[in-house]
C-alpha cells in the first residue's frame, strides 16, 4: 500500500547487495524505496537521487489523485475497470490485477518499482536492484540471490532465492509479516515473475491460500508465475523453477 504505519528497519536490504553497486534510499511521504545501481555508471549521485525522488513523488500523486476521483481503485479487493486516460501506472496496475484477480492496489509496490526501473533504464543504467516494502525488481546480467524472509529467526537469513539473469520481480505477501492485507493462513508467499506488478499481485493472490493444495492450484491457474514458495501451516510448498540456495 502507499501508507506505512511507522518506520521500519529494512534489515533485508543488507541481504541483496551486489559488489560494485552503490545504494541509496528515496523517501517520499510514506514511501521508502531502496535502489542499488552500478557505481561506475553514476555520474552525479545527488542529481540522480533528486530526479528519482521527484519521479517517486509524481507516481504517488498520480495514484492518489486518481483514487480521489475513483475511490474504488484504492479500496476494491477485486479488479476494476479504469479510464483509458488514466495515468500509465494506474492502467498497468489495473491490467495486472485483472490478470490475477485481485484489487489493483495489490500491485502498487511492484508498479512503483517497475516505473522507477524504466526511469533508470531511460537514464542509461544497465542494471539495478529496487526494493520497496520487501518487493524487489531486479535487472542483472548475472544470477543474484535474495534472502528468503519468513518471520522465523531460525530460518531468516539462512535460505535465499536465486534470481536468474534478466529482469525479474520477486514479491512477497504474508499474513504475519508487514502490512499486506491477507485472508489466508500463509505465513509467507514469495513469487518470481517477469513483470514486478504481476508478481506483486500474485503474491497477494497466493498469500490468501489456506492450505497447501490451494496454494499449488492457485499457482497452476496463472501462467505468468516462473516460480513460487509458500510457508503454510508450517510446511513449505515449492512451485515452478524457483531455486533455493543456502546463505553463508
The model's pLDDT over 110-137, given as tens digits with 9 standing for 90+, comes to 999 999 999 999 999 999 999 998 899 9
Q: What residues of the chain score a pLDDT lower than 70?
A: 1-17, 175-185
pTM: 0.89
Supply φ then ψ for residue 48, to 5 degrees: -60, -45
Give exposure, 207-242, as e/b (b: 16+ Cβ within 10 Å).
bbbeeeebbbebbeebebbbbbbbbbeeebbebeeb
| pLDDT recorded at residue 4 | 42
Q: What is the CATH number of domain 11-246?
A: 3.10.520.10
Size (the chain), residues: 248
CA distance 48 to 53: 8
| pLDDT recorded at residue 9 | 43
| pLDDT recorded at residue 11 | 45
| pLDDT recorded at residue 205 | 95
Q: Is the dihedral of CA 112, 114, 119, 125 positive or negative?
A: positive
Helices 45-69 and 108-122 pack at an angle, to 10 degrees, of 140
Amino acid at each position: 500500500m502507499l501508507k506505512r504505519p511507522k518506520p521500519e528497519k529494512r534489515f533485508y536490504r543488507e541481504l541483496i547487495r551486489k559488489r560494485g553497486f552503490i545504494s541509496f534510499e528515496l523517501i517520499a511521504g510514506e514511501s521508502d524505496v531502496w535502489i542499488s545501481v552500478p557505481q561506475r555508471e553514476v555520474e552525479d549521485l545527488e542529481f540522480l537521487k533528486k530526479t528519482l525522488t521527484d519521479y517517486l513523488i509524481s507516481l504517488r500523486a498520480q495514484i492518489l489523485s486518481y483514487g480521489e476521483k475513483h475511490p474504488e481503485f484504492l479500496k476494491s479487493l477485486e479488479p476494476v475497470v479504469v479510464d483509458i486516460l488514466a495515468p500509465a501506472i494506474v492502467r498497468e496496475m489495473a491490467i495486472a490485477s485483472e490478470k490475477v484477480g485481485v484489487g489493483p492496489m495489490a500491485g502498487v509496490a511492484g508498479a512503483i518499482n517497475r516505473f522507477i526501473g524504466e526511469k533508470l533504464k531511460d537514464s542509461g543504467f544497465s542494471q539495478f536492484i529496487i526494493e520497496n516494502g520487501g518487493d524487489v525488481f531486479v535487472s542483472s546480467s548475472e544470477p543474484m540471490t535474495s534472502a528468503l524472509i519468513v518471520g522465523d529467526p531460525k530460518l531468516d537469513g539462512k535460505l535465499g532465492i536465486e534470481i536468474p539473469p534478466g529482469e525479474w520481480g520477486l514479491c512477497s505477501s504474508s499474513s504475519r509479516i508487514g502490512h499486506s492485507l491477507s485472508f489466508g493462513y500463509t505465513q509467507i508467499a514469495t513469487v518470481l515473475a517477469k513483470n514486478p506488478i504481476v508478481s506483486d499481485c500474485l503474491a497477494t493472490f497466493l498469500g490468501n491460500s489456506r492450505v497447501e493444495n490451494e496454494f499449488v492450484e492457485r499457482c497452476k491457474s496463472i501462467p505468468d508465475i516462473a516460480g513460487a514458495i509458500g510457508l503454510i501451516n508450517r510446511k513449505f510448498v515449492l512451485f515452478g523453477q524457483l531455486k533455493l540456495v543456502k546463505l553463508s
